Amino acid sequence: MEHLINPRVKDIEISGIRKFFNLVAGTENMVSLTIGQPDFPTPLHIKEAGKKAIDENFTSYTHNAGTIELRSAAADFVNKKYQVTFDPETEVIVTTGASEAIDITFRTILNEDVEVILPGPVYPGYEPIIRLCGAKPVYVDIRPTQFRFTADVIKPYITENTRCIVLPYPSNPTGVSLTKKELEEIADLVRGRSIFIMADEIYSELNFEQEHYSIASNIREQTIVINGLSKSHSMTGWRIGLLFAPKEITQHILKVHQYNVTCATTISQAAALEALTNGLDDAVPMKQEYKNRRDFVYSRLERMGLEVVKPDGAFYFFVKIPALTEELNSFEFCLQLVEKVKLAVVPGSAFSTYGEGYFRLSYAYSMETLEEGLNRLEAYINL
């Protein structure tokens, strides 16, 4: 029966991140720096709110968009943090993780043969959905600009078929963010054109060198903001995403969301409400620890002579494969790390063809794990 499967589904592949993680899982004495999973527990007060929701039988459907209390808290959160205003009644949707928010956005705004402009390298979760919609991903090579996806590099790729520009900052896999000025220039470039901006701001609370600036505060009418609690509140498994957009857009996205999941999990919604009301600054100590880890990892990578752009957000390094292994592609290089020194990182090719020649290292791990992993990387380089 496989021949009856939708050809677009057959043509997409499992994420290269997960593929490599699964490949090395179970290997004895392996140090893995692969997954972008915060190593902090969900804050206690949030877990208690989830338990309370179960005890009080908060286990029925909610409004498709989420409880009004949570949507109001989410709107207050982005207003206090990023000075962006959304109406909780009509412009906020609570989703099953940011991944669902991305999915329902693309399925709402894309159709056959339109184009979506993406930076390359980039998180691999966008392209498969774009292709499932029959649309075309158009990658912009941002390696020459130190991974900065600016108006100048975007402009040549805009055509009459461009429907959306994806702005994922701070970035997975590079950790690079954009300045307010750079985002304002992108807004000026797009303003008045029939082009959406999808601003994937899931790492907005993990911005080390500057306050996060949302492009929605500059070009709100064309922007769909994706956010969530996975990274900011260490709630990956709770699966709470947040989508913000003008009501003329959300009224249609909500239809896709309704037929997709009905509503986000009620227990998780209760926990998310606690996170967004009494946990506004839960990310602050985590961010400081990530910054300490970043500085440690950066100093080690520099001492090894590896070529790397210092990240200013998220918790990743995107590292150039050392010159002595240039004959290897990124997958082969990462396999050699596994075989020779029992270290797992993610091949750059998982992040589009523009990631070839690099590997991604996650520092969402304890300092002890990072030190051991970097010792193994250095041992490989010195073989």
97-115 pLDDT tens trace: 999 999 999 999 999 999 9
What b/e readout covers 67-84, taking b as 16+ CB neighbours within 10 angstroms? bebbbbbbbebbeebbeb
List, for residues 330-372, the tens digit of each pLDDT value: 999 999 999 999 999 999 999 999 999 999 999 999 999 999 9
CATH of the domain at 163: 3.40.640.10
How remote is the C-alpha of 95 from its chain's centroid?
15
Q: Are 297 and 306 in contact (CB under 8 A)?
A: no
For 321-329, the CB contacts below 8 A with 24+ separation are: 321/348, 321/357, 321/358, 321/359, 322/381, 324/381, 329/356, 329/357
223/296 same-domain check: no
Region of 186 on the Ramachandran plot (φ > 0 left; ψ -120 to 50 alpha; else beta)? alpha
Which of 278, 304, 338 is a domain's end point? 278
pLDDT of 326 reads 64
pLDDT of 27 reads 77
CATH of the domain at 298: 3.90.1150.10
Region of 192 on the Ramachandran plot (φ > 0 left; ψ -120 to 50 alpha; else beta)? left
pLDDT of 254 reads 98
Nearest-5° angle of CA 100, CA 104, CA 109?
A: 150
List, for residues 210-235, the tens digit of each pLDDT value: 999 999 999 999 999 999 999 999 99
List, for residues 148-196, the tens digit of each pLDDT value: 999 999 999 999 999 999 999 999 999 999 999 999 999 999 999 999 9
pLDDT of 324 strictly over 80: no
Peptide bond into 170 cis (omega under 30): yes
Domain membership of residue 31 as a residue range: 2-42+283-381
Number of structural domains the chain divides into = 2
pLDDT of 75 reads 98
347/222 same-domain check: no
Q: Are 319 and 361 in contact (CB under 8 A)?
A: yes
* Cβ atoms within 10 Å of 236's Cβ, excluding its own: 17
Region of 98 on the Ramachandran plot (φ > 0 left; ψ -120 to 50 alpha; else beta)? alpha
320/247 same-domain check: no
253/156 same-domain check: yes
11/123 same-domain check: no
203/235 same-domain check: yes
Distance CA 81, CA 139 (A): 31
287/254 same-domain check: no
16/30 same-domain check: yes
Chain mean pLDDT for the chain: 96
Q: Are 366 and 378 in contact (CB under 8 A)?
A: no
Distance CA 142, CA 168 (A): 13
If 0-12 CB within 10 Å is exposed, 13-18 middle and 19+ buried, where does residue 98 land?
buried
pLDDT band at 21 (very low <50, low <70, confident <90, very high): confident
The amino acid occupying position 296 is F
pLDDT of 325 reads 66
248/334 same-domain check: no
pLDDT of 60 reads 97
pLDDT of 131 reads 97
Which of 243, 278, 313 is a domain's end point? 278
Nearest-5° angle of CA 355, CA 357, CA 359?
A: 70
351/216 same-domain check: no
Peptide bond into 121 cis (omega under 30): yes
Q: How much is the pTM?
A: 0.96
For residue 176, give the nearest of 140, 208, 218, 152 by alpha carbon: 208
**Helix or strand or coil: residue 116?**
strand
pLDDT band at 19 (very low <50, low <70, confident <90, very high): confident
Which of 213, 244, 278 is a domain's end point? 278
149/274 same-domain check: yes
The amino acid occupying position 153 is V
Distance CA 301, CA 135 (A): 39
243/318 same-domain check: no
